[in-house]
Amino acid sequence: MIYPSIDNLLKKIDSTYTLVSLSAKRARQLQDGTGKLMLEHPRSVKAVGQALEEVNAGLLTFKR
């Protein structure tokens, strides 16, 4: 089972394109060290998974 599921993520972010752009930008921040992880105990060890977990937790949002 993939965590977090795409269905749960699309309830938080309105489109898949926005979700991909937002999570990719956040993952680059985490890898470069310019961003601090907002979760205490992420399930994923990879930056993209951690970014998606932040979106699922409501810690990472997008405003138009």
Neighbours of 62 (CB within 10 A): 14
Q: Which residues fall within 8 angstroms of residue 31, CB to CB, at 6 or more apart?
A: 47
For residue 22, the model assigns a pLDDT of: 96
10 inside domain: yes
Global confidence as pTM = 0.91
List % helix, strand, coil for the chain (3-state, nearest 5).
55, 0, 45
For residue 2, the model assigns a pLDDT of: 76
Average pLDDT of each block of 10 consecutive residues along the chain (64 residues)?
A: 87 94 96 94 94 95 85
For residue 1, the model assigns a pLDDT of: 55
64 inside domain: no
CA dist 1 to 6, 10, 30, 36, 41, Å? 11, 17, 24, 27, 19
Neighbours of 52 (CB within 10 A): 26
Count of the separate structural domains present in the chain: 1
1 inside domain: no
For residue 64, the model assigns a pLDDT of: 81
Range of the domain at 47: 6-57
43 inside domain: yes
